[in-house]
Structure 1
Amino acid sequence: MVEEPKAAGKPAAKTAAKPAVQTARKDPKGVGSGRRRRGAVRSVLAGCGIAVVAGAVVAAGSVTPQISAAATVKPPVAALPAGQSVTNCPGPALLLDGSTGGTDPQFSAASSSSSSAVTAMVLSSAGGILPHSILAPLPGGTPLATLAGAPDAGSASTGSTPSPGSSPSTVASPSTGAAGDQRKAVVLGNQAVSDASVLRADPVDAQRAAVGAVMSYSAADGDLAGLGVAGCQQPSNDLWLAGASTTVGRTAVLNISNSSQTAATVNLDLYGDDGPLQAPGAKGLLVPPGTNRAVVLAGLAPGQSGLSVHLKSTGGPVAATVQQSVLRGLTAGGVDVIAPANVPAARQVITGVAVQDPALAASLAAQSGYADAAAALQVTVPGTADALVQVKVYGSGGQQPLPNGGVFTVKAGAVSELALTGLPAGTYTLDVGSDISFTATARVVSGLKTGDAVDFGYSAAGAKLGDGQLITVPQGPVSALSFGMPAGRAKVSLTPVTAAGKLLAVKTVDVAGGTTVTVDPAQLAGEAVAGFILSATGDAVYGAQVLGSKDKAAVSVLGVPRGVSGPQDLKVVLGY
């Protein structure tokens, strides 16, 4: 909103007229120039449609000589109508069938024991009204589940209406929270999926709905044995994915989903072990509306132990993940669904870095072909200058030392690793800094003993925690929440949401600078939960969810998604 200058009133206008006339007498040529300029402005504004309304507020002040040309006026902010909340969930892990190259691969089921499911959570408005929300397959078709039907006109709440074909028990009936709190939730638990899906929720009370969802895949046997869990994403036109590998026995499949009504044209920039990679097939990939497209990265960049992808789309926004799997001879080496990392910056923070006992970790990595079955930090420098990187590691007891002080160099346009071997067992936060912008992710590994299959996961650099973020806890895997911060002090407030949709009393986790705090969700809430509503205060603090199993090799790490509720504003910039 632009404030009107005081000169716009009647008395000010009368006073302003005299200097304008006097100036005109002294400089007649200036008058003519001023008229031509004002005429040109009127002509431009007449052709600008809606821009005339925004520009009219400042027009009176912009031609009066009392206002200095150096004065700055904040651009007006236009409130946009609240839109749908849309999150794209990746599909289950699938085996490549036949050719391992190209952008239209064929797939087959992973194993007879594999299962893939989506867990979702939708919050009501402050007045207790649940938004109409559905989970549907992508490509489109009959909804997999209806979390909440359209609210009745004038009603304060709405019930849950499972769609045909879904079990009524999978959608929890919502219930109100503590006294005086009208918010409630509806939870969709373990909805089986066989393809990518999309969760949509309509706005309520002129606010975007707060939603959260995760897709979890698990298999006890087969080439894709392991655990892969990924958060459902808000579509974007710019994404960074790090942690892929295309060496022998490693398969990386980039999956791109377009849930919008506009076609997307996708270009990929690839960064490998020795620098940027040129691949003609990485440009101009068309993803039609409501479709998925798979790209086998080995067909574009073979033989890369570390591969990062910068995805840019024009047209419709997209969601993207990398299905990364390892097969060591006949032994499954794990599977993960790699989610986007933070955009390049001079500092990145990663938490949820789970490290096993150093003796066990060393014995696993010492096996033939298991060199990458070890915890490590991967850094990607997309610029044209080498980066000197320093890494600080913080655990529950404070900072832990690294060889050479955690300092190493990464070539321009390349991907490089720093081993995290030797750290005591625990969950850590990495504070990574450089003089050059970079993005980063950390690999974590789970194994029980040598000779058995291992699993791996990736924890990507994320943004600091804010207000009103949702953490969805998938059913099945063992979950732990990790909060870490390099310096200062913060409080993380967590409102538990039960599987029945009930909001419990707020719990607070205090996080000291230079430490990592790990919390069991069920112990924190006092009972099993479907998720949390999170708000953080104090200094910058970061969070993640570490998932695993008590009796088998399984690990995956989820970041905390940004909040999506609230009104939307658009800055209006007047100019040409």
Structure 2
Amino acid sequence: MNRTTLSLIAGATALAAVTGFAALSTPDAPDSPGTAGTAKAAAQLPVERTSLLCPAPSTSEIAETSYTSFTPVTRGTGSGGKAELRAAAQEDPAQDPGTGGDQAEGDGKSGKGGAEKPVLTPREPGKPATGDSSGSDAPALVGTADGRFAPGWTVQETTEVAAGTGRGLQGLTCTPPDTDFWFPGASTAADRTDYVHLTNPDDSAAVVDIELYGKDGALKSAVGEDITVQPHSSEPVLLSTLLDEEQTNLTVRVNVRSGRVGAAVQALDDKIGGDWLAASADPSGSLVLPGIPKDATSVRLIAFAPGDTDADLKVRLASPTGLITPAGNETLHVKGGMTAAVDLGDVTRGEPGSLVLTPTDRSVPVVAALRVVRGKGEQQETAFIPATRPVGTRATSVDNSAKGSTLSLTAPGRAATVKVTASAGSEGGTPVSKTYTIKAGTTQDIEPPVPAGLKGTYALTVEPVSGGPVHGARTLTASEDGVPAFTVQTLPDDRGTVAVPEAEEDLSVLQK
């Protein structure tokens, strides 16, 4: 979703828009003998600064929210740096970043000068830090990390709501700011209450358009245009206020005209719980939606094709034994500019799986997401799985416990070998790593390794070792008065390192 922009000016290299924003300096390195005048491979260096945004967690008075922060240990970062999460409304760039002290947990109470203390401030990479809030007045958070805390910094927001609309477990990996987001799977149906949360981390206002697309195409909404999000603040927008008619399956595009924001959709249902809907991966001809729980009782696929060209997709399920075509749902036709949806039922049939979408003929870019339901009758819970990028170099999930965490890995093409590392616990424990092989075209649910002597929560870091691309997701489960509460977070590459090309001064460009 984020775009990386490289600009070479007089031998200096600056990099922007990596997990929010990053700044890197090209190291001084003399040419090796015999290499003068030849191109050099770009160096992979750790990002130096990361920004993450967490939306306001809930409007419920009985909501209980936990925040967990983790940075994997990364070579080449040095010994300096810091990370912290602060309330968006209280975010002050001029505020002394040391106000919160060297605490792993923040209490949210006023600190020096009456400013809010950070919700959390990690002590060191390699060990999770936690914070919490409760009730309906918990604010959106703006997070920044630099130095050794920046590469791969991951923050999870997890909320438990015991009753009411959206009851159950709601989880979200806090997102970097960007300028374009796609959310297939939103709704303005009578039982749904969906909000688009927009959070602006910068010193100037952001201007945002919210575009809506239903089964018949674009939906007009004058009030969805030119939405101003003030600096260091968050704006929740109720989708039903943007339309005069109900739309069961809706694709939302957040298009930022000026500035940048973090965006996520909170999708709450009166009867079957709710969760956060994270943005889909960028439009692509082939997509993977990983981590459908084995006990899913209902799965709905929602897809959208930007532009005027129709897309025809082959629908397959990557099961533990290989790729399977769901009977009666072999393909999906998505008209250009329109949202398509299909109910796949209990497509996994008691086994874990991932959905793999590929073009039947020519490749047309699409975005997609799944609405997944567990349970039956009045004891149902909902979560969402957007299409996601491959793990790439490394991906991390946080807020794992000894029980209730499942890691799902998919190799849609070639077989792959991955290393999974369980970090130290937030309150104690020793890291441990295990290696797994994922067969081609399969999904494997892994009972993740647990740190020895675990106390508190821990992080899981996934690193491909060999083979083809791997897609992943982590599921958290809990029991809420018989309701199988759960939430799923996908595991795209954490973009903790970036390629920085060698640059040299060349005054000949000034000559004609």
| Root-mean-square deviation (Å) | 3.7
Q: Does 1:93 align with 2:58?
A: yes
1:472 aligned residue: 398
Q: Is the 8 A contact 1:355 1:444 kept in 2?
A: no
1:120 aligned residue: 69
SS in 2 for 1:298: helix
Whichever residue aligns with residue 559 of structure 1, its letter is T
Matches within 5 A, 1:345-356: 345-356=284-295
Q: Does 1:314 align with 2:243?
A: no
1:379 aligned residue: 303
Matches within 5 A, 1:420-569: 420-423=344-347, 424-434=349-359, 435-447=363-375, 449-450=376-377, 452-474=378-400, 478-499=404-425, 500=427, 504-522=431-449, 527=454, 529-537=457-465, 538-550=467-479, 551-566=482-497, 569=500
Structure 1 unaligned residues grouped into runs of 5+: 1-49, 55-72, 95-109, 151-157, 175-183, 362-373
1:335 aligned residue: 274
Q: Is the 8 A contact 2:472 2:492 kept in 1?
A: no
| 1:570 to 1:93, Cα distance in 2 relative to 1, 3 A | farther
Structure 2 unaligned residues grouped into runs of 5+: 1-7, 13-37, 110-116, 504-508
Q: Is the 8 A contact 1:131 1:209 kept in 2?
A: no
Q: Does 1:211 align with 2:153?
A: yes
CA distance in 2, matches of 1:392, 1:355: 16
SS in 1 for 2:293: strand
SS in 2 for 1:281: helix
1:270 to 194, 212, 216: 212
2:128 aligned residue: 187
Q: Does 1:247 align with 2:186?
A: no
**Structure in which a larger fraction of residues adopt strand:** 2
Q: After superposition, what is the alpha-carbon deviation per residue over 1:498-540, rounded to whole angstroms, capped at 9, x for unaligned?
A: 2247662321121111111111225587857511222113201
Q: After superposition, what is the alpha-carbon deviation per residue over 1:202-241, rounded to whole angstroms, capped at 9, x for unaligned?
A: 224xx94431111111112122311110101111111111
CA distance in 1, matches of 2:281, 2:85: 27
Q: Does 1:403 align with 2:327?
A: yes
**Structure in which a larger fraction of residues adopt helix:** 1
> Of the two, which has the highest radius of gyration?
1
Whichever residue aligns with residue 555 of structure 1, its letter is F
CA distance in 2, matches of 1:488, 1:78: 27
Q: CA deviation at 1:74?
A: 7.8
Of stretches 469-478 and 274-283 in structure 1, the one that deviates more from structure 2 is 469-478
| 1:78 to 1:353, Cα distance in 2 relative to 1, 3 A | closer
CA distance in 2, matches of 1:388, 1:567: 35
CA distance in 1, matches of 2:40, 2:220: 41
| TM-score for both structures, normalised by structure 2 | 0.78
1:282 to 210, 216, 224: 224
Runs of at least 4 residues of structure 1 off by over 6 A? Answer: 73-81, 166-173
Q: CA deviation at 1:465?
A: 1.0
SS in 1 for 2:147: coil
2:84 aligned residue: 134
Q: Is the 8 A contact 1:211 1:564 kept in 2?
A: no
Q: Sequence identity, in percent?
A: 23
SS in 2 for 1:466: coil
Q: CA deviation at 1:443?
A: 1.2
Q: CA deviation at 1:349?
A: 0.5
